[in-house]
Amino acid sequence: MTMRRARFVGRSGLATLALAALAGAWGCASNEGRASEGAEEDRSSHEGHASASGDREAPPPQPTKSAEPPPAANGTGTIHGKVAFTGTRPTPTPLKRDQDPFCARTAMNDEQVVVNDDATLRNVIVHLTKGVTGNYPAPSAHALVEQHDCMYRPRAQAIVAGQTLEIKNGDQTLHNVHTYQGTETLFNRAQIAGSPAIEREITDYEGVMTLKCDVHGWMAAFILVSNHPFFATTGEDGSFTIQNVPVGTYTIESWHEKLGRKTQEVTVTRDGTAEVNLSYAGTESGT
Q: How far is the CB of 39 from Cu ion (least distance, A)?
A: 19
Triad 35, 41, 42: Cα angle to 5°? 55
Applying CB under 5 A, does 97 fall inside the site for Cu ion? no
Applying CB under 5 A, does 213 fall inside the site for Cu ion? yes
How is residue 121 annotated by DSSP?
B
**Residue 5 to residue 55: CA distance in whole angstroms:** 24
How is residue 183 annotated by DSSP?
T
**Residue 88 to residue 109: CA distance in whole angstroms:** 17
Q: How far is the CB of 262 from Cu ion (least distance, A)?
A: 31
Nearest in space to 204 (alpha carbons), one of 18, 30, 27, 45 = 45
Identify whether the C-beta of residue 80 lies closer than 8 Å to the C-beta of residue 272.
no
- Looking at the Cβ atoms of 127 and 216, the one nearer to Cu ion is 216
- Looking at the Cβ atoms of 33 and 217, the one nearer to Cu ion is 217
Question: Among 35-43, 119-127, 155-163, 168-176, which window interacts with Cu ion (CB under 5 A)?
Answer: 168-176
Q: How far is the CB of 213 from Cu ion (least distance, A)?
A: 3
Nearest in space to 244 (alpha carbons), one of 79, 127, 70 = 79
- Looking at the Cβ atoms of 201 and 257, the one nearer to Cu ion is 257
Q: How far is the CB of 218 from Cu ion (least distance, A)?
A: 9
Report the residue number whose CB is nearest to Cu ion. 213
- Looking at the Cβ atoms of 200 and 216, the one nearer to Cu ion is 216
Applying CB under 5 A, does 212 fall inside the site for Cu ion? no
- Looking at the Cβ atoms of 44 and 191, the one nearer to Cu ion is 191
Edge-to-edge strand order for the sheet containing 273-280? 239-245, 77-85, 273-280
The CA distances from residue 120 to 19, 29, 78, 109, in Å, are 46, 47, 21, 18
Sequence-distant (≥ 6) Cβ neighbours of residue 247 within 8 angstroms: 75, 76, 77, 268, 269, 270
Applying CB under 5 A, does 95 fall inside the site for Cu ion? no
Q: In this chain, which of 115, 161, 165, 215 binds Cu ion, going by CB under 5 A?
A: 215
Radius of gyration of the chain (CA): 20
Q: How far is the CB of 216 from Cu ion (least distance, A)?
A: 4
Applying CB under 5 A, does 175 fall inside the site for Cu ion? yes
- Looking at the Cβ atoms of 204 and 257, the one nearer to Cu ion is 257
Q: How far is the CB of 180 from Cu ion (least distance, A)?
A: 15
Q: How far is the CB of 175 from Cu ion (least distance, A)?
A: 3
- Looking at the Cβ atoms of 52 and 156, the one nearer to Cu ion is 156
Q: How far is the CB of 211 from Cu ion (least distance, A)?
A: 10
Site for Cu ion in 107-166 (CB under 5 A): none
Site for Cu ion in 216-255 (CB under 5 A): 216, 219
Sequence-distant (≥ 6) Cβ neighbours of residue 104 within 8 angstroms: 97, 98
- Looking at the Cβ atoms of 215 and 274, the one nearer to Cu ion is 215
What is the β-pairing status of strands 273-280 and 143-148? unpaired
- What is the binding site for Cu ion (CB under 5 A)? 175, 213, 215-216, 219
